[in-house]
Structure 1
Amino acid sequence: MKHSLFLFDLDDTLLDFRASEKLSFERVLRELGYSDGVDELFRQYQGINIELWRAFEAGTVSKEFLKVERFRKTFAACALEIDPQQASLRYLESLSETVVLIDGARRLCETLAAAGEVGIITNGVAHIQDRRIASSGLGDYISFTATSEACGFAKPDSRFFEYATNMARTFNKGATIIVGDRLDADILGANRFGIESCWYNPGRLNNDTEALPTFEAAHLDEIAPLLA
């Protein structure tokens, strides 16, 4: 196999964050005494959350601000008197307890860990991501986890990828590949940093962006044969 360092995005690449997100959101709202119209409230939250994460990746808001503001804006839009700080704390704790693996994640990590080194690159919250990895059962295959929170820069900033690759046992650009589901963060980041990439695209979406993946896969089981 050409590659010896495999950098994986975590959410919606190895772990089904969308499933975990919805389970955690529903749990928190129930705990805070709200049970009516949760599906509509969750849709509101998702849109607000995406906007705030894009602002974070652009460097215009902090992660601490994002974590609470997404709940504050959601509750304000629906005129709900729920403490956004409390909701945020409970939600983040719940995320580590509602881990859902994407089909093929364990097989892929096991295969690639035997061929080289597997690292995680994530813009998520550091201590939450560590707990989610531990809960997922993938920890035995993962050598290190690089988070934007610890680095100070977020994907697709090249300084984040420099930080991540410095955590590896050995690093050679020609033998390194990023696997991720987001063109604007994972694949564009790989392009800017000068390493290869594999776009995990289960929805078989069209790529109408400037990001150019080296490989593309609709299922995680396709990736190891592609790289071989």
Structure 2
Amino acid sequence: MAYDLFLFDLDDTLLDFKESERRCFAAVLQSLGVRDRLDELYHQYQIENRRLWALFEEAKTSKEHLKVERFRRIFENFGIEIDPHKASDHYLEALPETVVLMDHAEEICKWLAERGEIGIITNGMHAVQIKRIENSKLAPYISFTSVSEECGYAKPDIRFFEHSAKMAKKFHKESAVVIGDRMETDILGAQNFGLRSCWFNPEKTKHNFSFKADYEISHLSEIQSLLKR
């Protein structure tokens, strides 16, 4: 199968969001006077953030509520008297400046851009995601970026994929492939929209979903040999 449109998830697929988030979270809290229990706070932040994003993906909460609520919850749990709105604002300002690439991300994007069009499909905040791409070394290779906040729908909603398809220079389902690390958003969304998919699974995690990806890789560099076959 020959592909000419490569639809990449962004966080934890091309950008190491976990590491970026960890560094940014610690720096922001330290700037607000928090010095102790940073690892505990970050662990709890991850839990609350995942819960809220799951609600957002199910259209059960808003993006504006999510931004602040994740900080309000951890501050309340740890008895920290900091305005969660202030923490959220500082965090969203700092996050785009804290960019860490996944291994081989720049190399594979350069290689694919010579063979077709690269689009980013991401659930996130538009201004933050656009700035993070600009601050990475990937921007020259990316044709367009589709963000859930701008679209109004989030992966795996089929309407998000319809929106993304319209942003491509040319779009044919049979020559497009989705590459992402989350089965429940990237791979399911691709399947629902009738696209082939590649699950980026660096930790070689087992899953029990009723659906599966067309391909599976544990290193981005494997995309080259996979597409050459």
Q: TM-score, normalised by structure 1?
A: 0.99
Q: 2:55: which partner in 1? A: 55
Q: 1:120: which partner in 2? A: 120
Q: How far off is 1:211 after superposition?
A: 3.2
Query: Deviation digits for residues 52-87 of structure 1, max 9, x if unmatched?
Result: 000000110011110000000111111111110010
Q: Which runs of 4+ in 1 moved over 2 A?
A: none
Q: How far off is 1:224 after superposition?
A: 2.0
Q: Distance in 2 between matches of 1:61 and 1:19?
A: 26
Indicate conservation of the 8 Å contact 1:9/1:122, yes or no: yes
Indicate conservation of the 8 Å contact 1:7/1:118, yes or no: yes
Q: 1:142: which partner in 2? A: 142
Q: Distance in 2 between matches of 1:210 and 1:191?
A: 12
Alignment of 1:2-81 (within 5 A): 2-81=2-81
User: What amino acid sits opposite 1:147 in the alignment?
Assistant: V
Q: 1:161: which partner in 2? A: 161
User: What amino acid sits opposite 1:162 in the alignment?
Assistant: E
Q: 2:171: which partner in 1? A: 171
User: What amino acid sits opposite 1:167 in the alignment?
Assistant: M
Q: Distance in 2 between matches of 1:187 and 1:120?
A: 14
Q: How far off is 1:188 after superposition?
A: 0.4
Query: Deviation digits for residues 187-220 of structure 1, max 9, x if unmatched?
Result: 0000100000000000000121123100000000
Q: Distance in 2 between matches of 1:95 and 1:227?
A: 33
Q: Which runs of 5+ in 1 are unaligned?
A: none
1:195 aligns with 2:189: no
* SS state at 2:197 partner: strand
Q: How far off is 1:19 after superposition?
A: 0.3
User: What amino acid sits opposite 2:50 in the alignment?
Assistant: I
Indicate conservation of the 8 Å contact 1:188/1:210, yes or no: no
Q: How far off is 1:159 after superposition?
A: 0.4
Q: How far off is 1:49 after superposition?
A: 0.4
Q: Distance in 1 between matches of 2:211 and 2:129?
A: 26
User: What amino acid sits opposite 1:12 in the alignment?
Assistant: D
Q: Which runs of 5+ in 2 are unaligned?
A: none
Q: TM-score, normalised by structure 2?
A: 0.98
Aligned length: 228
Q: Distance in 1 between matches of 2:149 and 2:224?
A: 30
* SS state at 1:128 partner: helix
CA RMSD of aligned residues (A): 0.8
Identity of aligned residues (%): 53
Q: Distance in 1 between matches of 2:85 and 2:150?
A: 22
User: What amino acid sits opposite 1:71 in the alignment?
Assistant: F
User: What amino acid sits opposite 1:125 in the alignment?
Assistant: M
